[in-house]
Amino acid sequence: MKAFRTIALSDVLTPSEIARARALYREQSDETFNTRVVRELIAPNMARINKALGQENDARYIGYAVEYCLMNRPEKRKTGPKWSRAHA
């Protein structure tokens, strides 16, 4: 059985990347948010993200997790929303 741990958005993205993700989320167009955030922020930084999370990850999953956090974020929270991820 895999254990779960909670990860903050700031564990995966830098402050400037979080700001860019928020801007992308606000300006969603014909392209889905996940496609854009993966292409512009996640994929170019996968090595750093995988290292931060301690395992290989699917960029689309990370994009969906970022979207989930942005959809459910309290405006005043300093560290950003959290999601749980299974790890061995």
CA distance 27 to 84: 26
pTM of this prediction?
0.71
Per-residue pLDDT band for 74 (boundaries 50, 70, 90) equals: low
Instruction: Residue count of the chain, please give it.
Output: 88
Whether residue 22 contacts residue 81, with contact meaning beta carbons closer than 8 Å, is answered with: no
Terminal CA-CA length for the chain: 8
CA distance 64 to 60: 6
Whether residue 37 contacts residue 63, with contact meaning beta carbons closer than 8 Å, is answered with: yes
Give the model confidence (pLDDT) of 9-26 as tens digits.
888 899 999 999 999 988
User: What pLDDT is attached to residue 29?
Assistant: 66
Give the model confidence (pLDDT) of 32-73 as tens digits.
888 999 999 999 999 999 999 999 999 999 999 998 888 876
User: Per-domain residue ranges for the chain?
Assistant: 3-87
CA distance 21 to 66: 8
